[in-house]
Amino acid sequence: MLFLFFTRTKKRFIIYYDNDLIKKYKHSIDNYNYYIIKHTGNNGNISFVEEKIYFDLKSKKFFCLKDIIKRAKAYYKKHTFKNGKINDYKLATYLGKFTLFFVNDNKFIKVQTWIEEK
- Asked whether residue 94 carries a pLDDT value surpassing 90, the answer given is no
Kindly tell me if the per-residue pLDDT of 12 is higher than 60.
no
For CA atoms 10, 16, 22, 25, the dihedral sign is positive
Per-residue confidence (pLDDT) for residue 83, from 0 to 100: 61
What's the domain range around 75? Answer: 2-117
Average pLDDT over residues 76-101: 76
Cα–Cα distance measured from residue 54 to residue 106, given in angstroms and rounded to the nearest whole number:
8
Of the spans 29-33, 34-38, 39-43, 44-48, which averages the highest pLDDT?
A: 29-33
* 3-state SS record for the chain: CEEEEEEECCEEEEEEECCCCEEEEECCCCCCEEEEECCCCCCEEEEEEEEEEEECCCCCCEEEHHHHHHHCCCECCCCCCCCCCECHHHHHHHHCCCEEEEEECCEEEEEEEEEEEC
116 phi and psi, to 5 degrees? -110, 115
pLDDT category at 26 given cuts 50, 70, 90 is very high
Number of domains the chain is built from: 1
Maximum Cα–Cα distance for the chain, whole Å?
40
Residue 32 has pLDDT above 90, yes or no: yes
Confirm if 47 and 100 have CB atoms less than 8 A apart: no
